Amino acid sequence: MRPALRTTLFLAPATAWLLFMLVLPLLVVVLFSFGERGAAGGYVPAFTLDNYANLSARWTAFRNTILLAPLGTVLCLLIAYPLAYHLAIKADPRWRTILLILVIVPFWTSILIRSYAWIQILGGNGLPRLIAELGLGRPRLINTPFAVLVGIVYGYLPLMVFPIHVALEKIDRRLLEASADLGSPPWRTFLQITLPLSLAGVATGSMLVFILLMGEFLIPQILGGGKVFFVGNALVDLFLQSRNWPFGAAVAATLVLVMLVTVTIYLRAMKRLSGGRDDVSMM
């Protein structure tokens, strides 16, 4: 068999999958977004820009998503990096595996159940009550952006920890010794050697968390209580409740566009930060 033919054959399943599961649906979404809503919902072919003109009606959902998804990603990163650093560099190798397993243990239960648990913790009889009994007022936690962020960090932390851990673990310890040997104190060795060499993991983890967060709807639904909703919630509403498919398609297409732009800007920035190394920009 000719090598070119063999390559084509090997790639055929993946190509077909991408075509039918990604490209085609995306085209359908774009097509629908220019259509009109039928009398009983659904889609009626047409060409109108009304759906896009009407996007501002869902501005709150976009605003929440665009603010809270990056913020959630940054929070995950700030908590995950020290954790991954400790696991990869500082922790006793004998304990490393056990500690890593502890990081993924929460994944063994459905996110749905775990988020319901947070309702109890953040709800009136949970933390707010404890704070009240300490005489520090009675803050409202559930159904606030804070609750959504807590849920996000809780749910997505392992996705950030693992890529960073892998990147840190790959770093040759002798590079850190060489840096110290050349007169660099530990904190500068971290900034000049460890951090730049782990940026690939930071980029991968951030991408993973950010992309998933942009489409998130479960956590805002449960912990935001319909008050803090994401574009994902708007889509559920438009497609399943009010059955306004064309408007929903316009919202979805806009979300994809926003994501493309943000991800591109982010990857450009990471590439510049890491001095033009390819392995970082490609994740």
Binding residues (CB under 8 A) for other proteins: these are 172, 174-175, 177-186, 188, 193, 196-197, 274-275, 277
CB of 270 to other proteins, least distance (A): 13
Smaller CB separation from other proteins, 180 or 236 = 180
Cross-strand partners of 37: 43
User: C-alpha 141: how far from its chain's center?
Assistant: 22
CB of 176 to other proteins, least distance (A): 9
Smaller CB separation from other proteins, 2 or 90 = 90
CB of 177 to other proteins, least distance (A): 6
How would you class 163 by CB atoms within 10 Å of its CB: exposed for 0-12, middle for 13-18, buried for 19 or more?
buried
Q: Which strand (E) or helix (H) includes residue 247? A: helix 245-273
279: left (phi over 0), alpha (psi -120 to 50) or beta: alpha
Smaller CB separation from other proteins, 33 or 204 = 204
Smaller CB separation from other proteins, 59 or 187 = 187
- Yes or no: say if 198 and 164 are a contact pair by the CB < 8 Å rule: yes
Closest CA to 87 of 157, 153, 161: 161
Smaller CB separation from other proteins, 179 or 233 = 179
CB of 199 to other proteins, least distance (A): 9
Q: In whole angstroms, what is the distance from residue 112 CA to residue 59 CA? A: 27
- Yes or no: say if 280 and 271 are a contact pair by the CB < 8 Å rule: yes
CB of 283 to other proteins, least distance (A): 17
